Structure 1
Amino acid sequence: MSMAGDLWIITGEFGAGKTRWCQQFLALARQAGWDAAGILSPAVFENGQKVAIEAVDVRSGERRRLATRRQTEDSALIHTREWLFETDTIRWGNTVFQQALPCDLLIVDEVGPLELLQGRGWVAAMEAIASRAYRLAVVVVRPSLLPIAEKWQPQAVITVRHTIQ
C-alpha cells in the first residue's frame, strides 16, 4: 500500500453536517475498495436537543458513548465547557487509533479543545495524523481551532455549510 499522507481538514459550525459529510465520504471510499479506519462521532438527539456524542469505530462498527452534556463542576473529570467525556471510551478510542495504521483512509471526527489545547482526548489520533501512514486523512476541526490545525499543512480545508441529505 503506497502512502502519500494527504490530509484534508473538514470544518463548519455546529450542526453543519461535518459528521454526515464524513459518513458519505467513507461510503464512497469503501465503494472504491479503500481500507478505512478511525472514529466517527455522531450526535445523539432527544426531543430535538443534542444530549450526547457517540464514538463509532469505522472498521468494526462498534459504538460507545463518548460524551454527555456537562452537569457537574468536577474538574477532575475529562471535560470541555459543554461536554463530560467517558474516560473508558477515550481509552478505547485511543486503542482504535493506535491500531488504525496503515490504512487508505483515516477518519478523525473530531479533534477539538481537548486535543489541540489540552493535549488530552484522542492523543493517539494526533500521533496517527502526524505519522502520515495513510493515503488520506479526513480530520474534523471546529473553525475556531483552524489556526492551530493548519500547522499540519493540509492539502485541503473543506467547509461544510449545511447538512448534506
Structure 2
Amino acid sequence: MLVLVTGDRQVGKTRWLERLVEACERQGMTCKGVVCPGVWQPDECGGLAKVGIEALLLPEHENIPFACKRGLAPETPAPSHQADAAKLVWQIYDEAIERINKQFDDIAAQGLGERDLLVVDEIGVLELVFGKGFASALALLDAPVCKAGPDQAGGCCVGAHAAVIVRPELIEDAKKRFAPAWGEPCVMDIASADTRQGIESLIGAFCNSSELGERN
C-alpha cells in the first residue's frame, strides 16, 4: 500500500509523517527511510522561522544536517551542487543526499518486510523533474524490493507499505508513476483530514494488508 502525503507548504506534512512513524513503531512496525524535520529559530516578530533542515535516518534514528536556507549559510558552506543547479530555495548538502541514497540502497538490498514501512520525506522537483536528489528512493518506489518476493498475480510486493511526501503540484505525476508498482495510491491531504483518525485508519489498513499477504 502506497500513501502519498500532501498539503500546502508549511502546513505540517513532515510533522504528520513523524506522528505516523511514531504510531507505527508503537504497533511493532519497522519504519525505514528518512524524515526531514525543520530547524527553527525565534524571529524578530516573536514567532519561529525555519532556518534549516535535518534528516532523520530510519530505523536507526540517526540525525544528520540536510539543508540550510539560502542567505543563512555559513561562510564556508558544504557543497550543494544539485540544489544549486535546480535553483532550489534550500541549499541541500550533496553529502547528505549521498548518505540518504546509501540508506535507501541498503533498504533495497535487505528488501521490505510485511511489517515494514518505507518512509520518504520527500519526493519533489529534484527527483521527479531533474532525476537527482533521492534517486535511490525513487528507484525503490519505481520497483519495490520485498523479502517475500513479488505478487505473481499483480506484479506488486505482497504486504509492502510506503508513505511518501509529495507537493500538491506533483501529486498527479507521482500517482501515474508509482501506480504500476503499487496499485492506486492513497492520497492523504493532511489539510482536509483529521490527523488522528487519518493515522489510525492507515495503521489499520497496513495491518489488514499484511494479514492478507500472510494468507496468500
TM-score tier by shorter-chain length is 0.7 to 0.9
Q: Which residue of 1 aligns with 2:144?
A: 132
Residue equivalent to 2:7:
12
Richer in strand (by share): 1
Paired amino acid for 1:149: A
1:144 corresponds to which residue?
169
Q: Tell whether 2:130 aligns with 1:118.
A: yes
Give the CA deviation at 1:164: 5.6
* CA-CA distance at 1:155 after TM superposition: 2.6
Q: Determine the structure 2 residue equivalent to 1:87.
A: 94
**Within 2, Cα distance between the matches of 1:70 and 1:147?**
29
Is the contact made by 1:43 and 1:53 (CA closer than 8 Å) also made in structure 2?
Answer: yes
State the SS of the aligned residue for 1:27: helix
Residues paired across the two proteins, number: 157
Q: What are the residue-to-residue correspondences of 1:25-40 with 2, within 5 Å?
A: 25-40=20-35
More helix by share: 2
- Structure 1 gaps of 5+ residues are 1-5
Deviation at 1:32, TM superposition (A): 1.9
Pair 1:105-2:117 in alignment: yes
Q: Which residue of structure 2 aligns with residue 3 of structure 1?
A: none
TM-score by structure 1 length? 0.87
Which runs of 5 or more structure 2 residues have no equivalent in the other structure? 43-47, 74-79, 147-159, 197-216
Partner in structure 1 of residue 199 of structure 2: none
Instruction: Calculate the aligned-residue CA RMSD, in Å.
Output: 2.0
What SS class does the counterpart of residue 50 from structure 1 fall into?
strand
Larger radius of gyration: 2
Does structure 1 conserve the Cα–Cα contact (< 8 Å) formed by 2:117 and 2:162?
yes
Q: Secondary structure at the match of 1:111?
A: coil
Preserved CA contact (<8 Å) 1:20 1:164: no
